[in-house]
Amino acid sequence: MSYDKVEVPEEGEAIEFDGEELSVPNTPVIPIIYGDGIGVDVAPAAQIVLEAAANATGRDIAWMRVYAGEAANERYGEGEHLPNETVEAFEQFHVGIKGPLTTPVGAGFRSLNVALRKKLDLYANVRPTYHLNGVPSPVSHPEQMDMVSFRENTEDVYAGIEWEAGTDEAEEVREFVEEEMGFDSTIHDGPVGIGIKPISEFGTKRLVRRAIDYALENDRDSVTLVHKGNIMKFTEGAFRDWGYEVAEEEYGEEVITEDTLWEERDGEAPEDAVVVNDRIADNMLQQILTRTDEYDILALPNLNGDYLSDACGAQIGGLGIAPGANFGEGRCLAEPVHGSAPKYAGQDKVNPTAMILSGRLMLEYLGWDEAADLVRDAVEQTIESGTVTYDLERQIEGGEKVATSEFADAIVENIEELA
């Protein structure tokens, strides 16, 4: 495949996927989007850390710079926020990483993050939340937080089906809902915006299946289906029911439900089995704070997943620490949870930890577990030493404030010492 405005590195090889397994060369080509705002600072910092971890384990990364957002607009022309070349690069090379992309609120183009996830069918947004020693936290026991959120990435509010208040289309939908469907007292008079949130059996089951598989492969104890099914019975309630169907019909004795646990086993879970339970979303928001250590893997529709994973991130020091990645069949696109923070762009100031730890997820997906562990350990060691960016330095007594690039250099030094 040829590219017009991006360069494929000569020294790298493409990752292959045969429908079941990845074949990863020692020097894979990895597309990277720096992104908007602080992406120009955190993405290069992540690159040098991830490359150092790869090198320390006898491998290398051939970076392929691709473009989205404002950088794409400048390179490809006005209005080209997500060029076809960028999407094609991730399709061809299977695994990549991106920085934050700005999404306008209320008007303008829809989210580029969502567009990439949909075009590549990256249906699972996975956000591990764990505390690193030395990171200040607003809670007393941040070490109790060790959850992984599996957030559905293609449906619910991210399907983007809505009509603007005052338009003919919105009025047509209102008339249909009121006159044809009989919901005559549901919608207030006057202009009204209307949206639809689809949640499908197919989308739900493949997400829950991925969450349960992860729990089994990583010796986790439970998977919790988080929903608002007491109110939204045919969407979020269906998410719950379809999730239980996967647990009950596809896994045999490896997986049991919470009802079975108490009705047949008096609360004693069998060894090496995963317990699937469910919680109402608003209740879960307080339980992750009050009963943090009782939860493990969360499977959630899109909007619930956004709220809950951010709330989890707050307990371990904020979104500047929180990693994430999007997964499909034979695809991974790592990205930090935080936004683009344009007012800090280019200042070599912000914390790149979330981007670096998102890259750690990418390394794990490649099967480079030793390199991934080096990244985590070196980041933690650097923070514990008090060598941190401004956001953490102001909370740590005796901390040393360093620039984004200096923080990355310090992590690289620790990787070399740990290797």
Query: E strands, 61-176, where?
Result: 62-66, 95-98, 124-130, 146-152, 161-163
Binding-site residues for D-threo-isocitrate, please?
Answer: 111, 113, 117, 127, 151
Binding-site residues for NADP(+), please?
Answer: 102, 338-344, 351, 390, 394
Burial of 370 per CB tally in 10 Å (0-12, 13-18, 19+)? middle
Catalytic residue chosen out of the listed positions 123, 158, 214, 244: 158
* Residue 222 φ then ψ, to 5°: -145, 155
Specify the DSSP element, H or E, that contains 410: helix 404-418
Cα distance between residue 26 and residue 34, in whole Å: 23
Catalytic residue chosen out of the listed positions 282, 296, 348, 409: 282
**What would the two tokens of residue 161 be?**
């089906």
Binding-site residues for Mg(2+), please?
Answer: 306
Catalytic residue chosen out of the listed positions 228, 295, 349, 365: 228
- Decide: 305 and 125 in contact? Cβ < 8 Å: yes
121 assigned to active site? no
67 assigned to active site? no
Catalytic residue chosen out of the listed positions 244, 306, 349, 391: 306
Question: 375-387: string of b/e by CB count within 10 Å (b at 16+)?
Answer: bbbbbbbbbeebb
Q: Which residues contact 382 (CB under 8 A, 6 or more apart)?
A: 388, 407, 410, 411, 414
**What would the two tokens of residue 335 be?**
């990205």
Greatest Cα-to-Cα distance within the chain, rounded to the nearest angstrom: 71
- Decide: 43 and 355 in contact? Cβ < 8 Å: yes
Binding-site residues, please?
Answer: 102, 111, 113, 117, 127, 151, 306, 338-344, 351, 390, 394
Q: Which residues are catalytic?
A: 158, 228, 282, 306
